[in-house]
Amino acid sequence: MRRYLTHLLALSVLAVGTAVVGYAQSDIPNDKKDLNQDRRDRHNDRKDVRHDQRDLNKDRRDIRDDREDCKAGNKADCKDARKDQKDINKDKKDLHNDRKDVRKDTRDIQHDRRDLHQDCHGK
């Protein structure tokens, strides 16, 4: 009886191991898709960061010009300087959020690469 149970246990372990490897092999294309999607997301987030940085620099130039004109006595530029400061604050917030997205996507890429590696090597 003991010998029968040992054989049965060995066969069940082999069957489960084969099923796990088969499942891992079918998961590889999904992991590759996830990895490519995360790379695309990171690329788009980096583009957003560059765009927000350009907007921020443009708003800083505008506020500098408006403040100089305000000192010269033009009251309309004083109001415009306040609007530009609001734009700067909004752009800073957008820039911060985009940088957080880039970090998050980079972590996702690392996780997906690790998952793909584990699936390929059956660990």
Cα distances from 95 to residues 6, 40, 81, 91, in angstroms, run 62, 18, 21, 6
Cα distances from 70 to residues 59, 64, 86, in angstroms, run 16, 10, 17
2 within a domain of the structure (yes/no): no
3 within a domain of the structure (yes/no): no
Query: Is the whole model's pTM more than 0.75, yes or no?
Result: no
**Overall domain count for the chain:** 1
Q: Is the pLDDT of residue 16 over 70?
A: no
18 within a domain of the structure (yes/no): no
13 within a domain of the structure (yes/no): no
For 32-76, write each residue's pLDDT tens digit. Answer: 898 899 999 999 999 999 999 999 999 999 889 888 888 888 888
Tell me how far apart the alpha carbons of residues 117 and 111 are, in angstroms, rounded to a whole number.
10
24 within a domain of the structure (yes/no): no
Q: Quick one: how far is CA 106 from the chain centroid?
A: 5
Phi/psi for 49 (5° steps) reads -60, -45
84 within a domain of the structure (yes/no): yes
- Supply the DSSP symbol for 120: H
Residue 36 sits in which domain range?
A: 29-121
